[in-house]
Structure 1
Amino acid sequence: MPDPILERALRQVRAEKARDRRRRGVAVAAVCAALAVAVLAGGVHLGRRSVPGERVLVATTADGVRITTTVTPADGWVRLRAVVDGVAAGERCRLVVTDVRGRRYTAGGWVASRLGDTALAGAAVVDPDDLATVDVVTEDGRVLVTSE
């Protein structure tokens, strides 16, 4: 005849072991999922930001006009992503690239919004090694901000 106290103790030990295994399994799964998310996020970040030769140019004037430009080299030309802030609403502007010889190329244009900063993309047929400055220029030729 089996001992009921021993049987109950063995059932309790087995139940506790099973519960501990489930807890560990859930914890391991959570850690693995968190690591996978971190690795994927890091890969996406590096994929976006690690273009060979990519430069970020930032400039701010005393009167608060600010430009942040990401210059990505291409084969004999450059791609530009710029964010401009602090330009008076309604002002017609151009994004102008100047090379080391002083030649100027318009890479884009816009009308400043009353809602704040403007994000735009453009391109210029300037060798990436010859790029000197990126300017925000008004329609009447005033240079609002220059980044080098």
Structure 2
Amino acid sequence: MQDPILERALGQVRAERARDRARRRGVAAVACAVLAGAALAGGVHLGRRSVPGDRVLVATSADGVRMTATVTPADGWVRLRAQVDGVEAGERCHLVVTDGRGPGHVAGGWVASRAGGHALTGSVAVDPGAPAVISVVTEDGRVLVTAEVPAW
């Protein structure tokens, strides 16, 4: 014959162990779901943000002119999106792409404002498979900042 107090204590211990196991499984399941969701969301975010072949370039000159440019290859030409900061107000500038086969190709131009940076979108007919250089050049020919585009 067993002691009823001992039986009740053992029953409580078994019940608590079962609850603890269930709680740990639940926590593990939630953690796995959160990690899987984060991985999926990260993949979707990267898929929206990057196009195969895009090159993102960042360059800063000693004078503090900063250029961030995204170069997207196309069939026989490239698209450019650039943000240029640190150019003195009133300065007339051009975004120039040089691919080594001759003079540079102007992708666009602007006059720097007192408000600060300038966003520019343009395109040039250069071979997207060849290395190139993107520069911000003033109207009088001074190169303010340059970034090299690696070959695709």
Report the TM-score, using the length of structure 2 for normalisation.
Answer: 0.70
Using the alignment, how far apart are the partners of 2:67 and 2:99 within structure 1? 18
Q: Deviations over 1:33-60 (max 9, x none)?
A: 12431353146336644623x4344443
Letter in 1 for 2:93: C
Matched, 1:23 2:14: no
Q: Which runs of 5+ in 2 are unaligned?
A: none
Letter in 2 for 1:101: R
Percent of aligned positions that are identical: 57
Using the alignment, how far apart are the partners of 2:11 and 2:100 within structure 1? 84
Using the alignment, how far apart are the partners of 1:37 and 1:122 within structure 2? 35
Report SS of the residue matched to 1:70.
Answer: strand
Letter in 1 for 2:147: S
Does the 8 Å CA contact 1:83/1:120 hold for their aligned counterparts?
yes
Letter in 2 for 1:134: I
In angstroms, what is the RMSD of aligned CA positions?
3.1
Instruction: Give 1:123 shift.
Output: 1.6
Q: Which residue of 2 aligns with 1:143?
A: 143
Question: What is the number of equivalent residue pairs in this alignment?
Answer: 146
Using the alignment, how far apart are the partners of 1:36 and 1:17 within structure 2? 28
Q: Deviations over 1:74-107 (max 9, x none)?
A: 1111011223222113433221222322233322
Distance change (3 Å), C-alpha of 1:38 and 1:115 = farther
Q: Which runs of 5+ in 1 are unaligned?
A: none
Letter in 1 for 2:80: L
Q: Which residue of 1 aligns with 2:69?
A: 69
Report the TM-score, using the length of structure 1 for normalisation.
Answer: 0.72
